[in-house]
């Protein structure tokens, strides 16, 4: 009797959620017809749930961008119209993200930024496509979303596969330079599309360069509570370097396990890792995290404008800015610049201007934000970072490195 009730309840909750998600445009292309008043930009991030810390950073970044643009006089070509950020909480769930995207579009959003999580972005991208509203992704690890031929999806972060390949090249180069060339890399990654594509990109390039990638160990980031056995496996394999791709909590677990097992590596090397380059990682991992590398996209602290944004962020939210917040900031700027150039509130015209325009980026890159035919920003590049004395620094390539910062290699972890 009891069990029947519980099952019935669970089923009805699931059904209710699915009901919200089953959203068709139904001919109503939203309230985008509003020709006066503030211009709405939708922001979709995980504001609660296990990714809330990152989600709130991205949300704050988008907020700061809207405020900065409004303070500078709004969209001038539209009579100084102000921007308004309308936000939705995806809770990190694809179905919620989908229904929230639908809600924001019906509420009159001319474009959407988001969503930090690949599975959520995949759903939001299809909603945006159906409703013909531009969707500018700040962070989204899965490369497959842009392979569907969507016209309304754009992505600022570099492709995860490319970060993987770039990481392998940087590692080979650096280890060679320091006279300890890498022969064998063990790879530990979370098991979703993000971890797998980073690993694939890395392995293909590494093997081309004559480096063996073995063993490759994957884990479930949601349920994992200890990685000691996996690190022991790495130690037993005799690899020179451990490459890691994962999220924050599991990254700290990996660092702690490395500290305990002492696997005798030349380096622990993050590949688009979500932990090793965050400002609070050195504190949470303690001594175990010292010397960890990460190759990832990065906010450009050599750019005075980015530096100013980082200071504003700290003042306003009492927290160190993460790269994600800068990506969300750039995503909103991309949309605002598009509105300025198109001189129209029509999402379709906005899409055309975004796809052909360019914008000076606040990320480390080889040029302005500029999208190719699939909607990928072509100029974002990953850089190499390392934990030095409890702080994350950009150490390579030289033209983007922070002043005086040099990579330490080998950086035997757990010693």
Distance CA 363, CA 138 (A): 11
Contact region with other proteins (CB under 8 A), list: 72-80, 103-111, 221-229, 383-391 = 221-229
Of 14, 28, 48, 356, which lies in the binding site for other proteins, with binding defined by CB under 8 A?
48
Q: How far is the CB of 288 from other proteins (least distance, A)?
A: 10
Beta carbon nearer to other proteins, 263 or 347: 263
Q: Determine, following the binding rule CB under 8 A, whether residue 86 of this chain makes contact with other proteins.
A: no
Specify whether the CB–CB gap between 193 and 415 falls below 8 A. no
| Alpha carbon of residue 135 to chain centroid | 15
Total residues found in the chain within this entry: 415
Q: Determine, following the binding rule CB under 8 A, whether residue 87 of this chain makes contact with other proteins.
A: no
Per CB under 8 A, contacts with other proteins among 231-250 are 232-233, 235-236, 248-249
Q: How far is the CB of 326 from other proteins (least distance, A)?
A: 17
Q: Determine, following the binding rule CB under 8 A, whether residue 53 of this chain makes contact with other proteins.
A: yes
Q: Determine, following the binding rule CB under 8 A, whether residue 225 of this chain makes contact with other proteins.
A: yes
Distance CA 353, CA 19 (A): 35
Q: How far is CA 163 from CA 3, 169, 380, in A?
A: 48, 10, 10
Q: Determine, following the binding rule CB under 8 A, whether residue 1 of this chain makes contact with other proteins.
A: yes
Q: Determine, following the binding rule CB under 8 A, whether residue 356 of this chain makes contact with other proteins.
A: no
19 sits in which H/E element:
helix 2-21
Distance CA 141, CA 201 (A): 13
Q: Determine, following the binding rule CB under 8 A, whether residue 52 of this chain makes contact with other proteins.
A: yes
Per CB under 8 A, contacts with other proteins among 263-292 are 280, 283-284, 286
- Beta-carbon-side half-sphere exposure of residue 150 (alpha carbons within 13 Å): 31
Task: Specify the DSSP class assigned to residue 265.
Answer: -
Beta carbon nearer to other proteins, 53 or 412: 53
Q: How far is CA 199 from CA 25, 165, 188, 208, 235, in A?
A: 38, 9, 9, 14, 19
Give the helix, strand, coil percentages of the chain, each rounded to 5.
45, 20, 35
212: CB partners within 8 A, 6+ apart: 183, 184, 185, 206
Of 261, 295, 321, 381, which lies in the binding site for other proteins, with binding defined by CB under 8 A?
261
Q: Determine, following the binding rule CB under 8 A, whether residue 311 of this chain makes contact with other proteins.
A: no
Q: Determine, following the binding rule CB under 8 A, whether residue 315 of this chain makes contact with other proteins.
A: no
Contact region with other proteins (CB under 8 A), list: 30-38, 255-263, 363-371, 404-412 = 255-263
* Residues at the interface with other proteins (CB under 8 A): 1-2, 5-6, 9, 48-50, 52-53, 55-56, 191, 215-220, 222-226, 228-230, 232-233, 235-236, 248-249, 252-253, 256, 259-262, 280, 283-284, 286, 319
């Amino acid at each position: 009797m009891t069990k029947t009730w519980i099952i019935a309840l669970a089923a009805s909750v699931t059904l209710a959620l699915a009901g919200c998600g089953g959203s068709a445009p139904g001919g109503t292309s939203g309230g985008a017809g509003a020709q006066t008043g503030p211009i709405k930009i939708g922001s979709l991030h995980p504001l609660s749930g296990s990714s809330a810390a990152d989600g709130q950073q991205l949300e704050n970044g988008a907020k700061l961008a809207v405020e900065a643009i409004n303070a500078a006089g709004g969209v001038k070509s539209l009579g100084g119209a102000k921007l308004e950020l309308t936000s939705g909480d995806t809770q990190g769930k694809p179905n919620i993200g989908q229904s929230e995207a639908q809600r924001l579009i019906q509420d009159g959003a001319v474009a959407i930024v988001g969503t930090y999580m690949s599975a959520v972005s995949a759903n939001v991208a299809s909603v945006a496509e159906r409703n013909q509203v531009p969707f500018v992704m700040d962070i989204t690890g899965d490369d497959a979303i842009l392979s569907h031929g969507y016209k309304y999806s754009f992505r600022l972060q570099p492709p995860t596969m490319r970060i993987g390949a770039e990481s392998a090249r940087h590692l080979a180069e650096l280890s060679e330079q320091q006279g300890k060339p890498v022969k064998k890399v063990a790879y530990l990654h979370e098991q979703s599309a993000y971890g797998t594509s980073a690993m694939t990109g890395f392995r293909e390039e590494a093997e081309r360069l004559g480096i063996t990638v073995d063993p490759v160990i994957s884990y479930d980031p949601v349920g994992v509570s200890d990685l000691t056995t996996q690190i022991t496996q790495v130690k037993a394999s005799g690899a020179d370097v451990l490459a890691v791709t994962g999220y924050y909590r599991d990254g700290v677990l990996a660092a702690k396990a490395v500290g305990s097992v002492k696997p005798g590596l030349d380096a622990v090397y993050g590949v688009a890792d979500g932990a090793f380059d965050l400002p609070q990682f050195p504190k949470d991992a303690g001594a175990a995290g010292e010397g960890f590398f990460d190759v990832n996209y990065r906010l450009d602290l050599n750019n005075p404008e980015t530096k100013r944004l980082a200071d504003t962020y700290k003042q306003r939210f009492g927290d160190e800015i993460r790269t994600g917040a800068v990506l969300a900031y750039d995503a909103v700027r991309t949309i605002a610049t598009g509105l300025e150039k198109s001189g129209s509130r029509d999402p379709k015209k906005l899409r055309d201007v975004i796809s052909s325009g360019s914008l000076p980026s606040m990320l480390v890159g080889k040029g302005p934000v500029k999208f190719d035919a699939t909607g990928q920003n072509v100029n974002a590049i990953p850089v190499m970072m390392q934990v030095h004395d409890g702080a994350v620094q950009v150490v390579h390539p030289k033209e983007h490195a922070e002043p005086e910062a040099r990579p330490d290699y080998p950086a035997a972890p757990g010693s």
